[in-house]
Structure 1
Amino acid sequence: MKRLIMMRHAKSDWSLSQEDHDRPLNTRGKNSAQMLGNWLRTQGLIPDQVLSSSAMRTRQTLDGLGLSVQARFEPALYLADPGVILDTLCGATGNVVLLLGHNPGMAMLAEGLVAQAPAHPRFQDFPTGATLVVDFDTDSWETVKPGTGRVVTFVIPKELDGSS
Structure 2
Amino acid sequence: MKLLGLFRHAKSDWHDARARDFDRPLNERGRKGAAVMGRHIAAHGIRWQRVFSSPAVRAAETIELAAEAAGQSVPVEWDRRLYLASSHNLGDVLRELPDATASVLMVGHNPGLEDLIFDLVPDDGTCPLRALVEEKFPTATYAVLELAIDRWSDLDDGCGKLVHLVRPRDLDPTLGPQHDED
Note the aligned Cα RMSD (angstroms).
Answer: 1.7
Match of 1:159 in 2: 170
Question: How far apart, in 2, do the equivalents of 1:23 and 1:7 lie?
Answer: 17
1:81–1:104 Cα contact (<8 Å) kept: yes
Match of 2:104 in 1: 97
Match of 1:135 in 2: 146
Match of 1:76 among 78, 81, 98: 81
Match of 1:62 in 2: 63
Match of 1:85 among 81, 84, 90: 90
Match of 2:22 in 1: 21
| CA shift digits 1:80-123 (9 cap, x unpaired) | 11111110111234321111111111111111111354346641
1:118–1:154 Cα contact (<8 Å) kept: no
Match of 2:52 in 1: 51
Match of 2:133 in 1: 123
Deviation, structure 1 residue 35: 0.8
Structure 2 residue ranges without an equivalent (≥5): 177-182
Deviation, structure 1 residue 72: 1.4
Q: 1:4 to 1:120 in 2, by over 3 A?
A: closer
Structure 1 residue ranges without an equivalent (≥5): none
Secondary structure at the aligned position of 2:15 is classed as coil
With the length of structure 2 as denominator, give the TM-score of the two structures: 0.83
Q: 1:10 to 1:108 in 2, by over 3 A?
A: same
With the length of structure 1 as denominator, give the TM-score of the two structures: 0.91
Secondary structure at the aligned position of 2:34 is classed as helix
1:48–1:70 Cα contact (<8 Å) kept: no
Identity among equivalent positions (%) equals 36
User: How many positions carry a matched residue from both structures?
Assistant: 164
Q: What code does the residue aligned with 2:51 have? A: V
1:36-47 aligned within 5 A: 36-47=37-48
Greater Cα offset, 62-71 or 106-115: 62-71
2:149–2:159 Cα contact (<8 Å) kept: no
